[in-house]
Amino acid sequence: MNRETDFIDLTAREIAAGVNDGRWSAEAVTRAFLDRCSALEDRLRAWAALDPDLAIEQARAIDRDGRHKPLAGVPVGVKDIFATADLPTEYGSPIYTGNRPQVDAACVALSRASGAVILGKTATTEFAAYNPTATRNPHDLDRSPGGSSSGSAAAVAAGAASVAIGTQTAGSVIRPASYCGVVAYKPTFGYSPRAGLKPSANSLDTLGYFARNVGDVALFSSLSSGRKPFPKYDDPDPAPRFALCRTAEWSAMESGTLEALETCVDAIRSAGATVSDISLPETFSGLADAHWTVMAYETTRSLTWERINHPDLISQKLHTIFELGESISDEDYGKARILGSRCRSQLDEMLSKAEIDVLLGPAAPGEAPEGLESTGDPILNRVWTFLHMPCMSLPLLTGPAGLPLGLQAIARSGRDWQLMRAAAWLEDRLPYRGALDERIA
């Protein structure tokens, strides 16, 4: 390939293979993505910090090193909730303006060790909560990209980063992926190291990963977690055993989403897989509220220093969470935790007996909300996050306005490989919507 090659269209695996084989340099790839960022950022606003000179310096170091690395030259966006030693880390809050940690978060260090180029820090809502960023949805600049991993989802969707890292405490990975039309993966709780992550809710916070295809998210998530690649995640046979799961929150889904979901399920069956129906037991009906109890209680305590010392620099939306968190008794918090633990065991046993590999459902109630005042409702994600189950959003649906919607796939806790294999099966047989040329240019 020559220097006119459009690196933006390549997968992360293709980028790394070309750098490793000497077909192009990491610097050439980095410059192409920086040009893309420059062309879009005034409108997209996906970045909290972007240092082109630093990114090129990283790329040149990779080219000089010459050793084959699995992410060689791959441009990465890192949610600004993770520490970075060479870029500001501000957590989406004016309290930390100009903050410069001394070390990288574990996921950042592992990505660098695998040859990735850290382009910059992607915009996050304030402390990964609900106060929106200025980031816009690449498919419609007058709509939200979702949150709290707003910049990570938007940057990958717009081709401003090849892959990106985010976090999920309620629906902060799966929901923005649905709105922006990209692949996202929230692993089993504890799969990825959280060292260097600004904590919010300690029993819920989970790293998440964005890419434009399953293969890239599988490779990137494993390497940046310090794990071996997923085994045979793209093995096509036999077909996974799916079940459409109707939760107590099913009514939150908009009619257009339900229609798109039903059409997608029909296509999955036509492709050769079984899709049964399953409903969660009545005991699960309180899980979404229990999740909110745990999240508010733990977030209020995690951010004690900030709320005591800088209350004037905290948004009203976050103060509202603090007020709720302070009102929750230790007893009610404990009851919520116990409910989550019981339901985890019960669901794992139920899915095992039913011989179901992967649950299916909507990734968000509807298309991205109009305006930037809200990042959308995580109601369809709360239960799965609380149950510590691995989830993926796949851009397989289209809403009434022609905007992307994600199909959410969920596997049993610890069965991430099974989820990845099912996602690859779906990707191979059902057409993704939202090619890059449909996004802002």
What confidence score (pLDDT) does residue 436 get? 47
Consecutive sets of 10 residues in the chain, 441 residues long: mean pLDDT of each?
Answer: 70 98 98 97 98 98 97 98 98 98 98 98 98 96 98 97 98 98 98 98 98 97 96 85 96 97 98 96 96 98 98 98 98 98 96 96 98 97 98 97 97 97 96 59 49
∠ Cα 165 23 21 (to 5°)? 75
The CA-atom distances, in angstroms, between 33 and each of 5, 39, 91, 181 are: 12, 10, 24, 19
The verdict on pTM exceeding 0.95 is yes
Q: Which residue segments constitute the domains of the chain, with CATH numbers given? A: 1-441 (3.90.1300.10)
**Confidence at residue 433, expressed as pLDDT on a 0 to 100 scale:** 65
182 contact partners, CB below 8 Å, separation of at least 6: 153, 156, 157, 210, 211, 212, 393, 395
Structure tokens at 78: 């890192």
- Spatial contact of 434 and 395, defined as CB atoms under 8 Å apart: yes
Could you tell me the two tokens for 441?
């240019």
Per DSSP, 284 falls in state G
How confident is the model at residue 432, as a pLDDT? 79
Structure tokens at 130: 């609900």
CA angle 345, 419, 381 (to 5 degrees): 65
Sign (positive or negative) of CA dihedral 325, 94, 148, 194: negative
Q: Which has the closest alpha carbon to 432: 180, 244, 107?
A: 180
Looking at residue 439, its pLDDT comes to 55
